Amino acid sequence: MARRYDPERRQRIIDAAFRIVGRDGIAGLSHRTVAAEADVPLGSTTYHFASLDELLIAALRQANENFATAVRGTLASTAPTAPGPGVAAELARVMGHWLTGERARAELECELYLAALRRPALRPVAAEWTQWVMDALSRHTDVVTARALVAMMDGICLQVLLTDTAYDEEYAREMLARILG
């Protein structure tokens, strides 16, 4: 078992939840399975996360932050006054990195995102992702266009993950550029 003083315990519990959902789906997630996977006492999971929804919220928020940070980082180097091809190319590249990197991780993050369909407590956190990406895009385009870009990115990612098709960066770049005008 882990030490009594364990400042990393909360994060280890979240990481364990990621592994369980990745392996067994959300249906396999319980405080007991997370405690065993994280090698912590059962009471630690309920101390840090009173409900499984709280744990899923923390996991989804972490997934959101990772992707939003990647988008913000890549757009930071793109000139604010050049919303067309440069932004489209960078967004397509980030999606490609996410989709072609660790596929299991992308599927897991998508599963957490879509869990909001059945778990209303997750909906505000799923909406955070949209807002964070729209905020990153706000220095390059208007709100309506940013929303359309997010919808296109969602659609492309879902199609790739759900149909096992290869990610086509050139197609993504072209479609995003069309939205940007």
Kindly report the number of other CB atoms within 10 A of residue 166's CB atom: 9
Same domain, 10 and 64: no
**Are residue 109 and residue 42 in the same domain, yes or no?**
no
Decide: pTM greater than 0.85: no
Burial code (b: 16+ CB inside 10 Å, e: under 16) for 97-128 equals ebbeeeeeebebbbbbbbbbeebeebeebbeb
> Residues 127-181: pLDDT tens digits?
988 888 888 888 889 999 999 999 999 999 999 999 989 999 999 999 999 999 8
**Cβ-contact 146, 138 below 8 angstroms:** yes
pLDDT tens, 85-114? 788 999 999 999 888 887 778 888 888 888
Same domain, 76 and 34: no
Please give the tally of structural domains in the chain. 2
CB 161 within 8 A of CB 102: no
